[in-house]
Structure 1
Amino acid sequence: MASPALLLLALFVAVPFVAAIWFSLHNVRLGDPRAPSFMGITQYVRILTDPDVSRQFIDALLHNLIFAAVVVPVQTALALSLALLVKKSIPGVGIFRSLYFLPVVFPIALVAIIWRLILARGDQGLLNSALSFFSGGAFGSQDWLGSELTALASVIVLSIWQGCGFQMVILLAALQQVPAELYEAAELDRASAWQRFVHVTVPGIKPTLVFVALYTMILSLRVFDQIYVLAKSGGGLNEGATRTVMYEAVTAAFDENNIGRASAISVVFFVIVVILSVIQRRATSEKES
């Protein structure tokens, strides 16, 4: 029964990863008629010791960590709040559930274009126009995507808006599995709404909450699509302030034609993500116990 899923995992995860390890040990160029030459761990040494390459990699990794440190708690908390909101039986709640989930089904290219229009510089951007209108012209000239201070924050807001609905659906399913008898018993004990949330809701959905946080962290660490689309579509994105490790790998492969370095970056980043995932999982397991 598990063989179709295992076959797909082998074809699209295991085989590409083994190929990435092989590429990282060779000098591989796209379109080069010469056969790949063996380089050993030279690419890994350059990533960790070469001043220019290592600085770019560390900066990209730092952007990933900042992105994850903000997105994971904020998006999880917002998704839980929305799940609690749409869990209530009120007229038209199905419409609200659909609206909150709608950004998830949008192609990332469409999401990036929408937010590029919102965050465009000067009076061309919807956000700047709104700020200028409500402030009487005092505010409204901010370059949200081009400024080093706000470029990464803009991508973070975009990502939270686009991905929050998916976590909301998962948490909503978990909330619906919490026995109603527990809430009735808490009300008989005169527990407040906050006490019911802390002592009934959170323990009832804790495994799902841990899964959502872990899944969101993995997605946050591999962020790439929205940054690439904003950077390559003329959105004026400050690439230096928003470059991530996956963006670094893709540009090394297709802009610099260096498949070996891109593969080495991917392998090193995979190891880092696994380590962080294990640490987070063990920390949450200890809290559960």
Structure 2
Amino acid sequence: MAKIEKLSGRKRDERIAGYVFALPAVGLLLAFLAVPIIYTIYYSVFQYQVMRPNDILFVGLENYKKLFSDSDFWISLKNTFYFTIVVVPVQCTLALVLAMLVSKKYRGVSFFRTMYFSPQLTSMVVISVLWTVLYNSNPNTGLINALLANLGMEPINFLTNEKTAMNSIIFMSAWQGAGYQMMIFLAGLQGIPKDQYEAASVDGATPWQQFLFVTLPNLKGTIKYVIMITMIQAMKLFTQPYVMTQGGPRNSTKTMVYYIYTQGFQKGNFGYACAVAAVFFVIVVAMSLFLQKVTADK
């Protein structure tokens, strides 16, 4: 029979102190993550109209059956996947390039670090409004089309053409979010021992070879983390379509979170919105686990 380890007074106090310090974090996790998930699953099996809170009807799995036959659900899912698949590599690559540029010690590097990171300090709503003005198809008010007009080119309907609307949002989102990933990559770059670069240089390695065989292997863990958080953030896309396109044109920028918002808060189909949110939660978790398995060390 195994012996029960008796803790000394000091170790017991340290363990109690650890529980006390962890308690606020655990409480916030339960309040803002576990409880909403439980309530979302609970309401997903009811027909619950926000405008009629007392008229709640248990419908079982009907909401889930409905969403799988709902064309808007599949369009929103497709748009979300497209945005994620494109913006993650673009944003991560841009962030790594910026981090490489500002990792060197030269005059004014602090200014460039601040400039590249500054979009993160600005509200996404404000940035979306500014880029809406930049993307305006009227050359008299849209700054980008005004520049194209001065160059003798035809104006581009960035946000009113279904072929260009999502790509325009992707470009803006990659620009806005790259600063945060840049700082993470910068921390990883500063943790690489300098003697590895010196040894590679002595062996005759070119800067490109040093990047491939010194920088990338040392950043493997950082790259995995950045890809993971960027993917999760991309799946939650909402503000940009809400402010810039309202999901249009022709639902080309309607994402899953925007679809959940319209169903729950605009149309009042709260039970159905919870069902969509529950399915979307499972999809995001499954993608995260898949990505973690793919990038795991063999």
Work out whether the TM-score is over 0.5.
yes
Partner of 1:260: 271
Q: Within the alignment, does 1:167 sit opposite 2:181 as a pair?
A: yes
Q: Alpha carbon RMSD of aligned pairs, Å?
A: 1.3
Partner of 1:87: 103
Partner of 1:284: 295
Contact 1:231 1:239 in 2 (8 A): no
Whole-angstrom CA distance in 2 between matches of 1:213 and 1:228: 25
* Shift in Å, 1:31: 3.3
Q: What are the within-5 Å matches in structure 2 for residues 1-289 of structure 1?
A: 1-48=21-68, 50=69, 53=70, 55-123=71-139, 124-134=141-151, 136=152, 138-140=153-155, 142-232=156-246, 237-238=248-249, 240-285=251-296, 288-289=297-298
Whole-angstrom CA distance in 1 between matches of 2:23 and 2:239: 31
* Shift in Å, 1:33: 4.6
Contact 1:183 1:196 in 2 (8 A): yes
The SS at the match of 1:190 is: coil
Q: Which amino acid aligns with 1:29?
A: Q
Moved more, 144-153 or 121-130: 121-130
1:11-55 deviations in Å (ceiling 9; x for gaps) = 11111111100110112121315242211111001111x3xx2x1
1:93-118 deviations in Å (ceiling 9; x for gaps) = 11100000000111011011110010
- TM-score normalised by the chain length of structure 2: 0.90
The SS at the match of 2:295 is: helix
Whole-angstrom CA distance in 2 between matches of 1:107 and 1:263: 27
Q: What stretches of structure 2 of length at least 5 have no aligned partner?
A: 1-20
Between Structure 1 and Structure 2, which shows a larger proportion of helix residues? 1
Whole-angstrom CA distance in 2 between matches of 1:17 and 1:226: 25
Aligned length: 277
Q: Which amino acid aligns with 1:249?
A: I
Whole-angstrom CA distance in 2 between matches of 1:230 and 1:47: 26
Whole-angstrom CA distance in 2 between matches of 1:180 and 1:33: 64
* Shift in Å, 1:231: 3.2
* Shift in Å, 1:2: 2.5
* Shift in Å, 1:238: 1.9
Q: Which amino acid aligns with 2:225?
A: F
Whole-angstrom CA distance in 1 between matches of 2:53 and 2:84: 41
